[in-house]
Structure 1
Amino acid sequence: MTTQPRITVIGAGLAGLTAAITAAESGARVTLYESHRTPGGRARTSEGPYRTNEGPHALYNGGPHWTWLAQRDLIGPLAPLPPREAARLRLHRDGRLRRTPPLAMLRLLRRRPEHAPVDSDFLTWATGEVGETGARAAAHFVAVALFHHDPGSLSAAFVHERLRRATKLPPEAHYPRGGWSAVTERMVAHAWNLGVRIETGARVDALPDTGGPTIVATSLDAARRLLDDDDTLRWDSGRTTLVDLAVRTRKNDVFAVSDLDAPGWIERFTAQDPSLAPAGEQLVQGQLPLAPHESKADGVAHAERLLDLGFPGWRERTTWRRESVATGRTGAVDRPGTTWRDRPRIDRGHGVFLAGDQVAAPGLLSEVSFNSGIEAATLAVKAARAGRTGGTWKAWKTGGTGTSGGTDGTGTTGDPGSLDLNLA
């Protein structure tokens, strides 16, 4: 009789839920630990009359995670953006709101992704292609998909791929009706139906010895604490002021303001999903990236300048407001000379695997979490089975797997059974 592989997953955000489902579908017995009372991680949607996410959220359909979710009927109803609302996107340039971007920025979109070099910064490369005006406008616009204060300083290949996806027509961005929790709740239900044991309110301070592999699906800071202060578990991310605002409805409010003079984005999420706020009110969310020397107050002041332009009289109409700063919680960004393959590897050796939005997996924003969760689960199940065939799991674990050093940066060995993640 074959014994089921036993897999432990720490963290029930998008990466952890994806890993747990993937492992359970492979026949493993999975226990999923989450320190909060509810699963979802940064994909949780707040309860109450104003259903906010942790910063602006959208689900892009250009990556393999979309197919993965759709195959399991986990996407659910989407909130389409009416064409009349999409036409209300405004671009802040030279102190004014405009309807169209600089022509040079549009010319840049014609450059294919492979034309953008890994080793050069985006601003230098794009300036050589279309001039500085178009290059800076493009760098600031793409901050909506980066949450970084200086996108022009990042790898040209990294930024340009995201610029093309963020501006693609028809748009790749889609909005789950009711907020992101609607997706994570379906993922949790699917995991339960597969037999995953989910322990909420369960803080894990040390790797459990459960007789099987462990997938750490947390932030890199939390993973570093769990894995003996492993200093290699670091990667650049963003630091961003998040502003949530509810205002009484007023005709002709814009749908969104993209700042082309400096990175920043304000979006009216009830334009596509009125259920996110009470009747007669609009929910506005913004993300304003912060430089190292800037404070939350600087980001708030930036948001207010954009609100003054796109939402006249917003102060008198405000019914609710919240501000915060997200530090290192906005996904990985790649510096010149690096790609996703250089980020912390998924296979940590000795039966430990890493998943999350800052690890060695491709994709845009949350796609990294999905892709790394699938890869971590696939490797963990294979490791558990290999450990049993070679003797006891304990013997395999203490013998160690090393770090297989696959050229994809994930630690895969090129076995045909592992996933090919070069899709995003």
Structure 2
Amino acid sequence: MPDPAPRTRPHRHPHPRVTVIGGGFAGLTAAITAAESGALVTLHEAHGTLGGRARTAEGPYRTNEGPHALYSRGPHWAWLTQRDLLGPLAAVPAREGARFRFHRHGKLRRTPPLAMLRLARRAPEQAPVDMDFTTWATGIAGPEAARAAAHYAAVALFHHDPGSLSARFVQERLHRATALPPEAHYPRGGWGEVIDRMAARAWDLGVRIETSARVDALPENRPVIVATSLDAARRLLRDASLTWPSGRTVLLDLALRADRRSDPFVVSDLDAPGWLERFTAQDPSLAPAGQHLLQGQFPIAPRTPKADGVAHAERILDAGFHDWRARTVRRREAIANGRTGAVDHPGTTWRDRPAIDRGDGVLLAGDQVAAPGVLAEVAFNSAITAATLAVRAVGALRAVKGAGAARP
């Protein structure tokens, strides 16, 4: 889509205007929501392209920033569908679903422990907020199942020690990640295709989108929605209280030449938190013909070297992917530090995270703020709330301006 920044549209209303800082999933959701309510909106994105962590790489390998999927029971699913923004989805063929493997006791297995599946069926509301997941789950299903469940849930946590987190927080993610039918769906062509459709929708609504437009100081015009990472928001707002724990994980992208043997579709490590997925199983267009595209994430502790996460990934590859080193045609590694969403420790919930409304017309949106949901749902829910509050503020400002103009 061409950069809409240099184009202009006639203003439908006089000022005030909603300003959105950040052009990722949260920023675009907020901009669309505010514009649909009739507000004038300007969106600033520091990078040359929109999307944030939802960007999909250009070129022959259509990688996301780590494993990505859309959960179909979340509120953003209905919102995207209603606006025809979801687009075509890539289904996992039945034969590929049968190649889901669990790494347990050093070997690949077709099934996880039965006690883990029984634990996963428990409603999240049954899990306590003020107890860690391992303690709670061990009392119900025993230590082995508790350990396996915590490590399996890491697919939605990106954390090196998921068992230490709040039982309620982990159980919600475990319950969603093991739901039948599966909640995870894959936008064909990668998440970037969804972002392109959202950007087009924003433009059609009159949103002024400015890319390569870094904002280093909070704008004076309010309301303003800061839809950046929490670290960036803390610097921009000069507010030291804007902190919340997140995960740290090694991201691996790997392209392999196809082999006559059957590569697994997914390997979930139940011995330690780790996840490796062959994304071309559901969408072959993500890599050149005859190649497989794998993406994985292997959480590491705060001071653990990247090499440890890479070594973990290679152990999983050795266990499941025949002769993968000789078949490798592309490899990329990175660390995602504090960029994988909020994690809630015992005694805390999403309500304890940094508030969306910061006062004085400043609002936050993103995946580490006070909004419910799993993965991208937090960014979506916070964006809807922030946009709603911004539109109300715009209405109040217009009313004040109107009253002033009516005075003799």
With the shorter chain as reference, the TM-score category is: over 0.9
Q: C-alpha deviations, 1:86-112, integer Å up to 9, x for none?
A: 110110000110111112112212322
Q: What amino acid is the match of 1:142? A: A
Residue number among 321, 333, 336 corresponding to 2:346 in the alignment? 336
Letter of the structure 1 residue corresponding to residue 264 of structure 2: V
The structure 2 residue matched to 1:176, chosen from 170, 187, 200, is 187
Q: Distance in 2 between matches of 1:236 and 1:59?
A: 23
Is 1:260 matched with 2:267?
no
- After TM superposition, give the deviation of residue 184 of structure 1 in Å: 0.1
**What residue number does 2:9 align with?**
none
Q: Does 1:270 align with 2:285?
A: no
Unaligned 5+ segments in structure 2 are 1-11, 404-408
In the alignment, which residue of structure 1 is the partner of 2:85? 74
Contact 2:39–2:394 (8 Å) recurs in 1: no
Instruction: State yes or no: 1:194 paired with 2:166.
Output: no
The answer as to 2:257 corresponding to 1:248 is yes
Which residue does the alignment assign to 1:154? 165
| Distance (whole Å) between structure 2 residues aligned to residue 209 and residue 361 of structure 1 | 26
Moved more, 104-113 or 288-297: 104-113
Structure 1: gaps of 5 or more residues: 394-424
Contact 1:8 1:214 in 2 (8 A): yes
- Where 2:339 maps in the other structure, the secondary structure is coil
2:20 is the alignment partner of 1:9 = yes
> Structure 1 residue 238 and structure 2 residue 228: aligned?
no
Percent identical residues: 73
2:122 counterpart letter in structure 1: R
CA distance in 1, matches of 2:234, 2:69: 29
- Within 1, Cα distance between the matches of 2:56 and 2:107? 33
Instruction: Classify the secondary structure of the residue corresponding to 1:372.
Output: helix
- Do the aligned partners of 1:5 and 1:381 also contact (CA within 8 Å) in 2? no
State the match for 1:61 in structure 2: 72
Q: Does 1:117 align with 2:146?
A: no
Structure 1 residue 390 displacement after superposition: 3.9
Amino acid at match of 1:322: R
Displacement of 1:62 after TM fit?
Answer: 1.1
The alpha-carbon deviation at position 209 of structure 1 amounts to 2.1
The structure 1 residue matched to 2:303, chosen from 260, 283, 293, is 293
Distance 1:343 1:197 in 2: 30
Given the superposition, is the C-alpha separation of residues 392 and 341 from structure 1 closer, same or farther in structure 2, using an over 3 Å criterion? farther
Post-superposition offset of 1:389: 2.5
Q: Write out per-residue CA displacement over residues 367-412 of structure 1, whole angstroms, 9 at most, x where no aligned residue.
A: 111111111000011012123324599xxxxxxxxxxxxxxxxxxx
Give the whole-Å Cα distance in 2 for the aligned partners of 1:4 and 1:392.
11
What per-residue deviation string (whole Å, max 9, x for no partner) do you get for residues 55-90 of structure 1? 000000111111000000000000000011011011
Take 1:36 and 1:178, find their aligned partners in 2: how far apart are those partners?
Answer: 21
Q: Using the alignment, how far apart are the partners of 1:265 and 1:177 within structure 2? A: 21
SS of the residue corresponding to residue 253 of structure 2 reads: strand
Q: C-alpha distance in 2, partners of 1:233/1:218? A: 12
- Taking the aligned partners of 2:51 and 2:296, their CA distance within structure 1 comes to 21
Aligned pairs (5 A) from 1:342-381: 342-381=352-391
> What whole-Å deviation, never above 9, does each CA across 1:106-160 have from its counterpart, x for those lacking one?
2212322211000000000000011100000000000001100011000000100
CA distance in structure 2 between the partners assigned to 1:106 and 1:326 by the alignment: 29
Q: Is 1:308–1:314's contact at 8 Å kept on the other side of the alignment?
A: yes
Q: C-alpha separation between the residues in 2 aligned to 1:356 and 1:293? A: 25
The equivalent residue for 2:330 is 320
Return the alpha-carbon distance in structure 1 between the equivalents of residues 16 and 380 of structure 2.
21
Aligned residues: 392
Whole-Å separation in 2 of the counterparts to 1:295 and 1:104: 33
Shift of 1:5: 4.3
CA distance in 2, matches of 1:233, 1:87: 44
Task: Report the Cα offset of residue 310 of structure 1.
Answer: 1.1
Q: Show the counterpart of 1:131.
A: 142
Shift of 1:3: 4.0
Q: TM-score of the superposition, structure 1-length normalised?
A: 0.91
Distance of 2:159 and 2:230 partners within structure 1: 18
- Contact in 2 for aligned 1:4/1:28 (Cα 8 Å): no
TM-superposed CA distance for 1:312, in Å, is: 1.1
- 2:177 corresponding residue in structure 1: 166
| Mapped partners of 2:333, 2:269: distance in 1 | 19
The worse-fitting range, judged by mean Cα deviation, of 111-120 and 129-138 is: 111-120
2:3 is matched with which residue? none
- Root-mean-square deviation (CA, aligned residues, Å) is 1.5
Q: Do the aligned residues in 2 keep the contact of 1:5 with 1:27 (CA within 8 Å)?
A: no
Name the residue aligned to 2:60.
Answer: 49
Between 338-347 and 382-391, the greater mean CA deviation after superposition: 382-391
Contact 1:240–1:327 (Cα < 8 Å) also in 2: yes
Could you list the per-position Cα deviations for residues 280-319 of structure 1 after superposition, in whole angstroms to 9, with x for gaps in the alignment? 0000111000012311111000000000111110000000
